[in-house]
A and B are shown apart, each in its own frame.
Chain A
Amino acid sequence: MSKQEWPLYEVFIRSHSGLSHRHAGSVHAADDEMALSNARDTYTRRSEGVSIWVVRSDQIIASDPAETAAFFEPAEDKIYRHPTFYEIPDEVENL
């Protein structure tokens, strides 16, 4: 057993240019460079990507699932932000 585990990195992959990077999973690596090559070997063995991002898992700042309702509450009552809020007569076209 290693005395200390290598740090954990989260892996994000862009599958084609034109698409955004998407979370694929994680890898352990001693450093950033190794994280990239481990991510390549683990998650793109069948050409699943054209670009990889890796980031130390302990560097990610995430919202708290227990606070989800309160955290996203400000958007809940603002239905006027959606196009369906506005009633437009049927005769008006292209709107």
Chain B
Amino acid sequence: MYTQGLDQSGKGDPGARGEETAAQLDVFQARIDAEEKIEAKDWMPEAYRRTLIRQISQHAHSEIIGMQPEGNWLTRAPTLKRKAILLAKVQDEAGHGLYLYSAAETLGVSRDEMVGDLLSGKAKYSSIFNYPTLTWADIGAIGWLVDGAAIMNQIPLCRCSYGPYSRAMVRVCKEESFHQRQGYELMLTLCRGTAEQKAMAQDALNRFWWPALMMFGPNDASSSHSAQSMAWKIKRFSNDELRQKFIDVTVPQAEFLGLTVPDDKLTFNKESGHYEHSDIDWQEFFDVIAGNGPCNKQRMAKRRKAQDDGAWVREAARAHAEKKAARSAAA
């Protein structure tokens, strides 16, 4: 669900292989401008390939790490229905990770390489998953706000110039709507419940509002590589445009719940038709990205442990497959 446009350091020295001519680049840009999709084996600039590998794998890692905050509540969901829903959602996140790894692999990077980069800390994932899920209401807030922000980001990615990525995103977006609606319905149930339940919902909104806004990535002014991604039609809207869209649709949803968005400067500007809000605490954002959020270490430790604990299973499956193949060859 979650690309963030952080880590846009893809200096990507075009022509690293010294083979890219101006003519090739022109033909490529003309294809992009004509809204043609680029497919896996087509010629593409090395920087385009690297930007995509970075963005798609980062997106995939986010899906995989994103299973943890919600997985935290699987055994404590209040009813069997909620538990089944949450299980389905967490399974979807795994699925989204797999669609995306599969799309990234078409660019010539191996699954193991990508997983290795995540585990070594070289590759990033969305900052939002470094926040803890302290109460059951957080599961509602994640579905409503985090998946809501993700949808804003991802709908335009369905039209991304790279065919395999755009097709994966179409699939993801179809499933994402269930995620957001179940989250909002969960919040609605709490808000219509006891005063204590409503307070729990308000507390979850208080903690997740700002981190959700940060999901769109840095302000346009400090997002240096956006322009190139726009020209390549990997990105269709700027970080700030998407963030504004999200705020505009989400504030009325909070009002319907009877909850207060934790921003005392939030006002609706009738002329522009948009909400105005306080500045985002970018220091917090950069701290979380740098590995110093509340849960970064826990998330990575858990992911590494899962990878290590599963090693014998992967090896056994491979050994079994080899044995079976040898047997059928002998028969």
Chain A proximity of B277: nearest CB distance (Å): 36
- Contacting pair A2 B112 (CB below 8 A): yes
What mask results when residues 78 to 93 of chain B are scored 1 for a CB within 8 Å of chain A, else 0?
Answer: 0000000000100110
Chain A proximity of B45: nearest CB distance (Å): 15
Q: Mark out the residues of chain A between 1 and 36 whose CB falls within 8 Å of any chain B CB in the assembled complex.
A: 1-6, 8, 25-28, 30-31, 34
Q: Mark out the residues of chain B between 87 and 136 whose CB falls within 8 Å of any chain A CB in the assembled complex.
A: 88, 91-92, 95, 98-99, 102-103, 105, 110-112, 115-116, 119
Across-interface contacts of A41 in B (CB, < 8 A): 95
Q: Mark out the residues of chain A between 36 and 68 whose CB falls within 8 Å of any chain B CB in the assembled complex.
A: 41-42, 45-46, 62, 64-66
The answer to whether the Cβ of B268 comes within 8 Å of any Cβ in the partner chain is no
Q: How far is the CA of A65 from the CA of B27 in the complex (A)?
A: 14
- Contacting pair B317 A26 (CB below 8 A): no
Q: How far is the CA of A5 from the CA of B39 in the complex (A)?
A: 24
- Contacting pair B314 A2 (CB below 8 A): yes
Question: Which residue of chain A has its CB nearest to the CB of B167?
Answer: A25
Chain B proximity of A71: nearest CB distance (Å): 13
Across-interface contacts of A8 in B (CB, < 8 A): 105
Q: Which of B41, B99, B320, B325 contacts A64 (CB 8 A)?
A: B41
Across-interface contacts of B267 in A (CB, < 8 A): none
Given A25-B102, A31-B324, A46–B175 Cβ distance below 8 Å? yes
The answer to whether the Cβ of B309 comes within 8 Å of any Cβ in the partner chain is no
- Contacting pair B39 A6 (CB below 8 A): no
Across-interface contacts of B116 in A (CB, < 8 A): 1
Question: Which residue of chain B has its CB nearest to the CB of A23?
Answer: B167
Across-interface contacts of A34 in B (CB, < 8 A): 317, 321
Q: Which of A6, A25, A45, A46 contacts B314 (CB 8 A)?
A: A6
Across-interface contacts of B324 in A (CB, < 8 A): 31
- Contacting pair A1 B115 (CB below 8 A): yes
Q: How far is the CA of A34 from the CA of B321 in the complex (A)?
A: 9
The answer to whether the Cβ of B43 comes within 8 Å of any Cβ in the partner chain is yes
Across-interface contacts of B321 in A (CB, < 8 A): 30-31, 34
Q: How far is the CA of A28 from the CA of B310 in the complex (A)?
A: 15
- Contacting pair A45 B168 (CB below 8 A): no
Q: How far is the CA of A3 from the CA of B316 in the complex (A)?
A: 12
Across-interface contacts of A6 in B (CB, < 8 A): 314, 317-318
Q: How far is the CA of A27 from the CA of B95 in the complex (A)?
A: 11
Q: Which of B105, B311, B314, B318 contacts A26 (CB 8 A)?
A: B105
Across-interface contacts of B292 in A (CB, < 8 A): none
Q: How far is the CA of A76 from the CA of B31 in the complex (A)?
A: 20
- Contacting pair A42 B99 (CB below 8 A): yes
The answer to whether the Cβ of B298 comes within 8 Å of any Cβ in the partner chain is no
- Contacting pair B92 A45 (CB below 8 A): yes
Given A26-B105, A30-B317, A64-B41, A42–B95 Cβ distance below 8 Å? yes
Given A5-B111, A25-B168, A45–B325 Cβ distance below 8 Å? no
Given contacts A2-B314, A6-B317, list 19 more A-B pairs with CB under 8 A: A2-B112, A2-B315, A2-B318, A5-B112, A6-B314, A6-B318, A25-B168, A26-B102, A30-B314, A30-B317, A30-B318, A31-B317, A31-B321, A34-B321, A42-B98, A45-B88, A64-B41, A65-B42, A66-B43
Q: Which 3 A-B pairs have the closest CB atoms?
A: A31-B321, A30-B317, A30-B321
